[in-house]
Structure 1
Amino acid sequence: VVSMRPIRQCDVDKVRALTARFPHAHGSPIHVGEPAIIGIEDLMAPDWGDAVEIMDGEVPVFWGSSLTAQDALARAELAISITVSPGHMLITDVDARAGAGAFKVY
């Protein structure tokens, strides 16, 4: 699962440099250009959300998405899971620096 934003071709290097500074917030794009290379057949038929028009001079730019984890959880068919929903992030009081051991699984 990826998210896509059209970016003017002349701005792609700037976008890569800017977003690379934030690796814990999706970071830099994972792909730029031809969607078929990453398995996307039709940009006008997204699996989630609405299609976005790409204007002249723009290229599709793709980032990893938190929906990857949600899709994996849905396919796992667990009895319960807690995650985010579009526009609503999951916030806890667990310090991310505590590592995976800070989370308890019951």
Structure 2
Amino acid sequence: MQSDIGVYASTEGKLPDAVTDAAQPKVASLLAQAAALDGKYFAPTTGVTLADDGVIGVLFDAGANSGTSMTLTPTLNTANGQISQWTCAGAVVGGGTALASDRLPASCQ
């Protein structure tokens, strides 16, 4: 998902807007990819979402983090159209409560 958003940003020169650009084929494809993701700790269709500005939301529905959620937010370097970094944070997504910072994946801390 992150690499597909990066490719979109590189070719379009902006981050995908899940609301305004949802009808565009490339954004519609990203939305469909997010909805199709399935994992051990999140469910398909509701577990992963794509929001405005390429923000990925994850709602955990199993395991120790069940009922909590987090986001992965890209930072776009407008000079070259590349994503310079991704920032993780506990956030309210899809009805979940914000994941505590000490529960974020190790790569985010």
Q: TM-score, normalised by structure 1?
A: 0.29
Which has the larger share of strand?
Answer: 2
Which protein is bigger by CA-based radius of gyration? 1
Q: TM-score, normalised by structure 2?
A: 0.29
If asked which structure has higher relative contact order (CA below 8 Å, sep 6+), I would say 1
